[in-house]
A and B are shown apart, each in its own frame.
Chain A
Amino acid sequence: MKILGLYNYWIVIGLMMIGFYTMISRGNLVKKLVGLSVFQTSVMILYISMGKILGGTAPILIEGRENVVYTNPIPSVLILTAIVVGVATLAVGLALVVRIKEAYGTIEEDEIHEQDDVM
């Protein structure tokens, strides 16, 4: 039960490995970026999991109910920053892929290497 109870962390590890493997194994530059995105998304789940308390609510102080159980908001806030960073990275990456397509006429890694070796 203990192992199943940590299922969100298993999802994190699974997504992380899928993303990482995609990045390494695929030759298509867009697919590599998709892999990178999946990889970064897994970290978001890691952060949100560790802040969550079962039954916890939003961290809002209400008069008369001081001892309410609430979820730690800091990991969520941190990961909000990381989401923005992830979007920016993806945007820069895709912009680079567009420029590579214009310059080489392909976005397959092996074909790009072939063209560079000829020069």
Chain B
Amino acid sequence: MSPHLPVLQVVVPLLAAPVAALVRRPRLSWLVAFLAALWAFGSAVTLLHHVLSVGPISYHIGDWAPPWGIEYRVDQVNAFVLVIVSGIAAVVLPYARASVEWEIENERIPLFYTALILCMTGLLGITVTGDVFNVFVFLEISSLSAYALIAMGQDRRALTAAYQYLIMGSVGATFIVIGIGLMYVMTGTLNMADLAQRLPAMEANRTIPVAFAFLTVGISLKLALFPLHLWLPNAYAYAPSTVTAFIASTATKVAVYMLLRFIFTVFGVAFSFDVMNLDRILTPLALAAIVFMSLSAIYQPNVKRLLAYSSVAQIGYMVLGISLASVLGVAAGILHLFNHALIKGALFMAMGCVMYRVGSVRIEAMAGLGRTMPFTMAAFVVGGLSLIGVPLTVGFISKLYLVRAALEQGMWPVAVLVLVGSLLAVIYVWKVVEVAYFRQPIGDGSIREAPLSLLIPTWVLVLANIWFGIDAKLTAGVAIRAAQALLGVGS
């Protein structure tokens, strides 16, 4: 393994982005983007393997030793997140080629891939860095490109959705900058490990709780924690299919990772939960997200919007796991981060196939698709089962860990609400399945199955849903080790 891999993980896609814009030919820029995603995936897997077998890597940019220089630090937690982000990108890009050609004008395609690669770069950068100000810079790289990507949707409401996301996202990012500034003024350092050492001595000072509050609220805006989720449903519903599939399964996950990093590594579990009592606010909000957002999903006539509301509910599960602050709880949160990326990736890609052939993702438009597009709808059904948490799918594994973590602390009402959330998921998934399988097809019968270039990537994610649902040893093992690393207990 090259010792420079942690930085190349970010630099190679960053350099690929302008290349994708400069080649100007749609196919060629797609190829550049695809190669960049493959490279990112390959290096992320190498890093994860190295971290699991050897231990955390600390990379000093320009050979300036931390805390003076910028440190890139790869440990069990972020190596896992790197694999998720780059893995989803590597699956979404083959899918993007046909879908993007259909949804976006030809001359804009190179710029589309540039923005997509920049977005991935930003997300990888947030994940890999060990410097808090770097987090903000990469956050803005990923956010600005995400606004542009969402605005490229065909529906004009994509524009207002992108605008709303821009306003709320910028407020969130500015809150994060305020938090970082207040931490810097107290400690004089921006390095995460250094901050973690210096902060405990400052806890009595009022500035540190204020910094903590700004950071928590700012990150919660980014991860769409209920009730700060208002930007999410429209952004997911009207963005191009590829963008929805990519952003839904990566952007909020990286924000969840940021939350983990700040509350466990930087501030430490004792300060976050014993002094600030973060669980008293996160647990109710997470439970409210699970129940109310699942209920909202039931009433959505647009399936992409329905899935977007379900995403807010699923984020509730992740935050719930984190708020339990036990190894099992945090592991359940991290596990669901991975599993939900697979679930929502598969579901949104199936919806992209429907969009490609039918031109609409409203529930009425799905009538009879079970017969006309059998493979697409089968992918949706398996993804839906996984979302519900049926055994043999990844959704089951996450719920299992989450319920166990809740029962471990004797919080049986929480466990009950998790199951209620699953029941509500049955209702909204069934609404789509019923229309697709038990209604006569509408139209002149010209709707055919989606092309293989869309189906194969979708099914790769669907099969991953089943594979990691049956054999969870790898993912659950990594998640537990990551949780132990975050909580600082024996590994």
Contact = CB atoms under 8 A, between A and B. Distances in A.
A36 interface: yes
A114 interface: no
B81 to A, nearest CB: 23
A36 B181 contact: no
Interface in A75-93: 75, 78, 81-82, 85, 88-89, 92-93
B140 A85 contact: yes
A74 B70 CA distance: 13
Interface stretch (A40-48, A54-62, A63-71): A40-48
B300 interface: no
B144 A89 contact: yes
A78 B134 CA distance: 10
A40 B174 contact: yes
10 nearest A-B residue pairs (beta carbon): A103-B156, A50-B185, A85-B140, A96-B163, A100-B159, A99-B159, A89-B170, A93-B166, A47-B181, A92-B147
B171 A103 contact: no
Interface of A: 20, 23, 29, 32-33, 36, 39-40, 43, 46-47, 50, 74-75, 78, 81-82, 85, 88-89, 92-93, 96-97, 99-100, 103-104, 112, 116
B184 interface: yes
Contacts of A36: 167, 170-171
Contacts of A74: 184
A86 B160 CA distance: 20
B163 A100 contact: yes
B156 A46 contact: no
Contacts of A33: 167
Interface string B445-479: 00000000000000000000000000000000000
A20 B174 CA distance: 11
B157 interface: yes
Q: Classify chain B: how many residues form its interface, as a range.
A: 20 to 34
A40 B181 contact: no
Interface string B147-180: 1100100001101101100110011011001100
B356 interface: no
Contacts, number: 71
A91 to B, nearest CB: 9
Given A40-B174, A89-B144, 19 more contacts: A29-B163, A32-B167, A33-B167, A36-B167, A36-B171, A74-B184, A78-B181, A85-B136, A85-B173, A89-B170, A92-B147, A93-B170, A96-B147, A96-B151, A96-B163, A97-B163, A100-B156, A100-B163, A116-B157
A88 B181 contact: no
B173 to A, nearest CB: 8
Contacts of A43: 174, 177-178, 181
Contact of A92 (B144, B160, B177, B178): B144
B170 A82 contact: no
Contact of A23 (B147, B151, B167, B177): B167
B290 to A, nearest CB: 28
A85 B137 contact: yes
Nearest to B139: A85
A36 B140 CA distance: 15
